[in-house]
Chains A and B, each alone.
Chain A
Amino acid sequence: MLSRKFAITARTATLAALAALSCSTQAQVSGGSVKIGVLTDLSGTYSDLAGSGAVLATRMAIDDFIANEKPAFKIEMVTADHQNKADIASNKAREWIERENVDTVTELVTTSTALAVMKVAKEKDRIVIMNGPASTPITNEQCNDVSVHYTYDTYALANGTAKAVTTQGGKSWFFLTADYAFGQALEKDASAVVAANGGKVLGAVRHPFPGSDFSSFLLKAQSSGAQVIGLANAGADTTNAIKQAAEFGVTPKQSLAGLLMFITDVHALGLKPTQGMFLTTGFYWDRTDETRAWSKRFFDKQKKMPTMVQAGQYSSIYHYLRAVKAAGSDDTGKVMAAMKKTPINDFFAKNGQIRDDGRMVHDMYLVQVKKPADSKYPWDYYSIKATIPAAEAFQPLAQSRCPLIKK
């Protein structure tokens, strides 16, 4: 116990000395530098949709911020691979905060890692900025006041896609669900939306997670006669299911709705099996001149077009740095206040706002995958069908189960 008190005293004394030595007001940024940690999946299932692309996006945000805003504080970045494991993520975050003065831990694809790091961050009073993870408990039951859930969540995706498909005529649904908490939550959210929009859920089949052969489950879906088969799963499960649906003649008679899909999935499968599918996304590289310009810069380094997670990472880091500059400090409370106060309007988000539950709401887009004949150039995959305004896209605050929200 004695040693720890000594260690803390020594550290405080050193910091105080450092602070006293610098004369400008930016001395309030501890140590004169802001350290951003990017904790992502660099080698596993989600490395394509987040991974090294997210690291690149962070690097771009930092470089652009320094070039445009010329801050008085230094900005550093550290990265690590959490391998989609909550224990590795938790350890890394703890180590970063305790030993390396990391000010914010970001990205965190895979909900279990996000939830684990949120707890560590709350305990140590550091900001967490999440782009990759999907589940809604992040801003509901598990919410806290040091976290920001930036790019998307299962509610927004399920709501957008299920609503659009149902109102466009896909009234009867059958779900193919990955049999674990995330898949079940996705199925539940989507079912509610289907029912609320005049559709009917004929049934669901749960497949083991992870799965590889979906033929039996698809046959069940086929025999139900539903118009739409909702894929309440992600990653390889989704892509395999889509491929096999085409093989077994399930499509095009029945249509598929991918409830959690990224442009990297479409790229991996090609347009033949995915054409006509509806999905909801927070970002499409080819939407506006602004998005095209940024995406081209990204593509030049990464050789792949950015996913919404990667674009969101850039936007969120830039927003964070702006908040640090505005607050004049990297103190968690002050920076969070600044982040929540300022709206976000950049190439990524229109009408973006961070709410008290940590949810960043912004416009989402309903897109449909193009037919192979309609695709004119590489990565020309989507046609944008509708913009879902921020106010509608995400779960309303009134329905929030977050303890921070007073009703």
Chain B
Amino acid sequence: MNSSATSLESKLPLLFGVLFVIGLIAPFAVYPTFLMKILCYALFACAFNLLLGFAGLLSFGHAAFLGTAGYVCGLMVRDVGVTPEVGIIAGTVSAGLLGWLFGALAIKRTGIYFAMITLALAQMVFFLAIQIKETGGEDGLQGVPRGHLFGLLDLNDNIAMYYLVFAIFCFGFFVIYRTIHSPFGQILKAIRENEPRAISLGYDVNKFKLIAFIISAALAGMAGATKTLVFQLASLSDVHWHASGEVVLMTLLGGLGTILGPIVGAATIVALQTQLADSVGSWVTVIMGGIFVLCVLSFRRGMVGELQALIKRSGVN
């Protein structure tokens, strides 16, 4: 779980610029809804990576944030009638609050215990989602209108919706980037690498972890709320533990602790699922599992991580 190689850091702004331009023109070449799905999951994975790759905390219940924000946003937009940006903000805030609650309960434990608590709490959220009438239970929250952004821009147009999603993604990514490179982020790294040391230096370790957790949860929520608007529904799959497992896979495949890894991982997994769903049915699960196994055994740095190592090696040579 190494941080980005220094030789790459100077090139990073250029890389970001290139990706940004690609992002701007992509919807004219590729089906926009597919791209929007990738962007939402990429944001979800980046948020997750902030917690695992940089703070060293494995949350096995992150789907709770994705789904809760999705339901809150959907309900606000469909039943209360607010404009989409208010819905997304509402979703983000609700996920942040939930993250605060989860974090407060879980943060005192570490490692596998932490993961198990987050899993248990997420299961309770899943249970609530089935029980509460407003979520629509098995049927899901359907018919969420995309509405007009700020009351002006009609989001039913796929291209317009795409640019909103892209903007949200860029904003979320920016927040994560700034968090990592801030003094706060440095302390997080220190905590991850040597917690007793950080404590002895006088840092309130739990407070830092909790803040990181809340940010991660809120951003995951932002992804979930946006996703609900894109697909105009929120469903139980968003709060199921499979979704929690999927985001772990995306991050691992892309590269834990790298800044671009989660994006690559999300894009790959979403593309795979879309391509394979039609042709192979159950084998999608097998292939996902296979990728997991391969990554863990011999590909731990993930795609971006391996790439970075390759560049570093050739740089040294």
Contacts and interface: CB of A to CB of B under 8 A. Distances in A.
Q: Do A and B come from one complex?
A: yes
Interface in A88-115: 88, 90-91, 94-95, 98-99, 111-112, 115
B: interface residue count bin: 20 to 34
Given A80-B278, A119-B232, A95 B33 contact: yes
B237 A87 contact: yes
A1 interface: yes
A217 to B, nearest CB: 17
B231 A90 contact: yes
Contacts of B139: 86, 111-112, 115, 135, 181-182
B79 interface: no
A116 interface: yes
A29 interface: no
Nearest to B234: A87
Contacts of A342: none
A1 B160 contact: yes
A43 B34 CA distance: 23
Interface stretch (B10-18, B130-138, B258-266): B130-138
A79 B277 CA distance: 11
A3 interface: yes
Given A91-B33, A112-B140, A3 B235 contact: no
A42 interface: yes
Contacts, number: 77
Contacts of A88: 277
B28 A180 contact: no
A301 interface: no
A278 to B, nearest CB: 26
A112 B159 contact: no
Contacts of B140: 86-87, 112, 115-116
A112 B143 CA distance: 11
Contacts of B131: 179
Chain A at the B interface: SS class: helix
A130 to B, nearest CB: 14
Given A1-B159, A4-B157, A115-B142, A87 B233 contact: yes
Nearest to A119: B143
A223 to B, nearest CB: 25
A42 B235 contact: no
B281 A87 contact: no
A29 to B, nearest CB: 25
Contacts of A179: 130-131
Interface string B227-260: 0000111010110000000000000000000000
Nearest to A183: B138
B100 to A, nearest CB: 28
Contact of B231 (A1, A87, A112, A181): A87
A322 interface: no
Contacts of B232: 90, 119
B282 interface: yes
B43 to A, nearest CB: 17
Given A86-B142, A86-B235, A179-B131, A42 B281 contact: yes
B31 interface: yes
Contacts of A4: 157-159
A248 interface: no
A99 B138 contact: no
Interface string A231-254: 000000000000000000000000
5 contacts: A81-B281, A90-B231, A98-B33, A119-B142, A181-B133
Given A79-B278, A135-B139, A179-B131, 17 more contacts: A1-B157, A3-B159, A43-B282, A86-B233, A91-B37, A91-B231, A98-B31, A98-B33, A111-B139, A112-B136, A112-B235, A115-B142, A116-B142, A119-B143, A180-B130, A181-B136, A181-B137
